[in-house]
Amino acid sequence: MTFHSVAWVDNGLRLLDQRALPQRLVYNDYHSYHEVAQAIREMVVRGAPAIGAAAAFGMALAAAAAPEDDPEQALALVGEAAAVLKAARPTAVNLSWAVERMLRRLHDPALVSVADLRQAALAEAQAIAAEDVRINRQIAVNALSVVPDEAVFIHHCNTGSLATVDYGTALGVIRMAHERGKKVFVLVDETRPRLQGARLTAWELQRYGVPFKVIVDSASGHFMRTLGVDLCVVGADRIAANGDTANKIGTYNLAIVAHEHGVPFYVAAPTTTLDLSIPDGSHIEIEERPAREITHVGDCAITPAGAEVANPAFDVTPARYITGILTEAGIAYPPFATSLARLLALTQEAGAQKEAGGRRD
Ligand code: MRU
């Protein structure tokens, strides 16, 4: 690994500016939570787990900026930061999950001074980042059983090291299958309008030596019928209790085409992407992004001046089109209402045991 999407460097947050890829590898440093929120909004950093980790470091920056001698004011400031960071992008639940976890940690009555708060904030953000990497690798290990020894994949958006702290979710599944000697080939959806597939996934796969071809999003049906596709693997931004899954716009179309062709359709995501507080996908807020993402490619206008556009950044794939949900706790199969609840309970139990072990040490 020679790049880091999210890292804590010299008392600040360093983000790989994903807008500049694949042409340039640019890192930007951030020293306030406002700057971090803006970087999330403008998609310097993107991908559900990566924006969660970035927001956690944003909370650490808020704690670091708090006045030395006033713990109450420090807590008020992290509260403000939490609200600003959570509002940066609405769909990925990992963002609010990370911010809420930071708030819980910082409201520990054992933290009495501002120095305590600062130290705890940074340690918690670093723990969130480190856990993300471990979790992603475990998702990929768990998924090996569903990947044939020779496999043609379709992958949508970017779900790799860039979209996480490292390794990736759906792309991690592909990467590990390749590392373990399976013969994999990837059809990479270009992923209009921001081209996360063409710009970012292709860039990552080149670095990992995984063979691939970039295709336009609307070509998936053609390749399922002509070449043959063994499985689709995509990421997720929020998964409802019944398994309905919000992910990058176009995921729903891909799932329907896969269903028509009998191609297994898997979602790979950490359990932090589960939102069991909502019964189904109709409760997921879909982010609407600026029209310019559709009307222009780079600086070139591709629509007539004044043309109206609609630009939802995500869609919801109904659970009935999903073969399985690959998580670090295991694979959930339909009916998801029971399998997801069971996997989440397992994760929470393991977390509680670890915490109790930590307190005893
Ligand atoms: O708008 P983006 O690029 O942040 O959307 C990203 C996706 O939809 C990913 O598939 C999802 O966040 C999972 S990333 C591991």
User: Residue 185 C-alpha to ligand 1 middle, in angstroms?
Assistant: 21
pLDDT tens digits, one per residue of 221-279:
999 999 999 999 999 999 999 999 999 999 999 999 999 999 999 999 999 999 999 99
How are beta strands 150-155 and 183-189 bridged, if at all?
Answer: parallel
pLDDT tens digits, one per residue of 43-77:
999 999 999 999 999 999 999 999 999 999 999 99
> Best mutation site among 247, 285, 294, 326 for ligand 1, i.e. most ligand atoms within 8 A of its Cβ?
247
User: Residue 288 C-alpha to ligand 1 middle, in angstroms?
Assistant: 14
Count other Cβ atoms within 10 Å, centred on residue 323: 19
The protein residue with its alpha carbon nearest to ligand 1, atom 15, reads 159
User: Residue 226 C-alpha to ligand 1 middle, in angstroms?
Assistant: 28
Q: Which residues contact 221 (CB under 8 A, 6 or more apart)?
A: 257, 260, 261
Question: Looking at the predicted structure, is the pLDDT value of residue 358 above 90?
Answer: no
- How many CA within 13 A on the CB side of residue 323? 19
H-helix or E-strand containing 268? strand 265-268
Count other Cβ atoms within 10 Å, centred on residue 117: 25
Query: Averaged over 116-126, what is the pLDDT?
Result: 98
Q: Which domains does the chain have, with CATH numbers?
A: 6-138 (1.20.120.420), 146-351 (3.40.50.10470)
164 lines ligand 1 (CB under 6 A): yes
Which two three-digit tokens encode residue 287? 């982010």
Count other Cβ atoms within 10 Å, centred on residue 360: 6
Query: Contact 60/122 with Cβ under 8 angstroms?
Result: yes
93 lines ligand 1 (CB under 6 A): no
How are beta strands 231-234 and 150-155 bridged, if at all?
Answer: parallel
- Sign of the dihedral defined by the CA atoms of residues 165, 254, 332, 202, in that order: negative
| Cis-peptide into 335, omega within 30 deg | yes
pLDDT tens digits, one per residue of 162-205:
999 999 999 999 999 999 999 999 999 999 999 999 999 999 99
234 CA: nearest ligand 1 atom: 10
Which two three-digit tokens encode residue 181? 């000697």
Query: Contact 217/186 with Cβ under 8 angstroms?
Result: no
Q: φ, ψ for residue 265 (rounded to 5)? A: -125, 110
156 CA: nearest ligand 1 atom: 10
Question: Looking at the predicted structure, is the pLDDT value of residue 107 above 90?
Answer: yes
Confidence band for 352, pLDDT divided at 50, 70 and 90: confident
User: Residue 302 C-alpha to ligand 1 middle, in angstroms?
Assistant: 25
Mean of pLDDT over the chain: 97
For the question of whether the overall pTM of this predicted structure is more than 0.95, the answer is yes
Q: Specify burial of residue 17 (Cβ count, 10 A radius: 0-12, 13-18, 19+).
A: middle
332 lines ligand 1 (CB under 6 A): no
User: Residue 73 C-alpha to ligand 1 middle, in angstroms?
Assistant: 35
| Cis-peptide into 22, omega within 30 deg | yes
d(Cα 268, Cα 266) in Å, to the nearest integer?
Answer: 6
User: What pLDDT score does 357 carry?
Assistant: 76
132 is catalytic: no
User: What pLDDT score does 1 carry?
Assistant: 52
54 lines ligand 1 (CB under 6 A): no
Q: Which of 132, 237, 244, 275 is catalytic?
A: 237
User: What pLDDT score does 359 carry?
Assistant: 57
DSSP 291-343: THHHHEETTEE-S-TT-----BSEEEE-GGG-SEEEETTEEE-SSHHHHHHHH
